[in-house]
Amino acid sequence: MIDSRDASLAVEIKDASSFNIVTPNRTYVLVDPSNTAHEWKAVIEARHRLMFGENSVLT
Amino acid sequence: MNDGCISGDLYSYGVSVYQMICGRTPFTAPSQWLTFERIRSGKLSFPIGFPEDAEDLVRQLLVATENSRLGADDIELTAVKEHPFFLGIDWDSISSSTPPTLRAPDSPFIFEIEHTDDLSDAALERVTQDEERRRVIAKQARTPWGQFLIPKSEMIVKQGLLIKRAGIWNNGRKRMFLVTDLPRIIYVDPEKTVLKGEIPWYVRPNE
């Protein structure tokens, strides 16, 4: 089984076009030229919750 | 330990009865992870036309608490054998009796459109139905990104060109990011169509 403590993930929004995906080992710094950072956040977090449970996404 | 084995068999027996009667598994979902979610939720749905006795039997077998499954307390499985579904079966001579003739159901089973809001992702509802999902996957397979997906099973749920920065001193590189329902996040060099990496969802315990 995967321990949810090893599965923490956060999507940090800086503005409409900038966000970071923060995983336990690394932070991915991303820029979305079409300004849909919030959509990325919603989709990634929803998938992550489906896989690891409600408390796996750090807010 | 033996109790565990019996009740595990009772559960899989319930799954088999369900599938033998209506041709589908009880926890069918668009992806492996969603299937696990459905199993965990324990929510059962039966198509219209599924016989009542059979539904009752399956419901009593597919119980999360292993000791509560019908027959779990008795190696002879008396409670299962005496269930109304098996009315008229002579268990003592069953191994030498003639099996009944196989026949198709009188009318096709009608499956409800599967609601997946209980999986906390309303967006999935639109693509839950098998047909729609197959169509989307077939369409995605013909895009330049299709080659990076698991054929016939993995579906992109969001894609887009993002600039991936590697430190504040450079401008970053343009990458096609794909979030799939496996689920995973991969990114591709859009000009060379080469897979550049994957964002891990978790740290494997051995790493």
- The amino acid at B120: S
Say if the Cβ atoms of A9 and B158 lie within 8 Å: no
Residues 15-54 of A with CB under 8 A from B: 21, 23-25, 28-34, 36, 39-40, 43-44, 46-52, 54
Residue predicted with more confidence, B6 or B143: B143
Classified as helix, coil or strand, A15 is strand
pLDDT of residue B30: 66
How confident is the model over B88-126, as pLDDT tens digits?
899 999 999 998 888 877 777 777 654 444 444 544 554
Question: What is the C-alpha to C-alpha distance for residues B77 and B54, in angstroms, rounded to an integer?
Answer: 17
B119, B162, B204: residue with CB nearest A30: B162
Whole-model pTM over 0.80: no
pLDDT of residue B112: 67
ipTM of the prediction: 0.86
CATH number given to B129-199 = 2.30.29.30
User: What residue ranges do the domains of chain A occupy?
Assistant: 4-56
Structure tokens at A11: 């999507």
What string of H, E and C letters represents the secondary structure of chain B?
Answer: CHHHHHHHHHHHHHHHHHHHHHCCCCCCCCCHHHHHHHHHHCCCCCCECCCHHHHHHHHHHCCCCHHHCCCCCCCCCHHHHCCHHHCCCCHHHHHHCCCCCCCCCCCCCECCCCCCHHHCCHHHHHHCCHHHHHHHHHHHHCCCCHHHCCCCCCCEEEEEEEEEECCCCCCCEEEEEEEECCCEEEEEECCCCEEEEEECCCCCCCC
CATH number given to A4-56 = 2.30.29.30
A31, A44, A54: residue with CB nearest B179: A44
CB atoms within 10 A of CB B111: 18
Mean pLDDT across A35-58 = 82
pLDDT of residue B18: 94
Lowest-confidence range among A12-21, B98-107, B189-198? B98-107
Chain-centroid distance of CA B194 in Å reads 31
The fourth-level CATH superfamily of domain B2-113 is Transferase(Phosphotransferase) domain 1 (1.10.510.10)
How confident is the model over B21-49, as pLDDT tens digits?
988 889 877 667 777 778 888 888 888 88
Domains B2-113 and B129-199 fall in the same CATH topology: no
Q: Is B122 on the interface with A (CB under 8 A)?
A: no
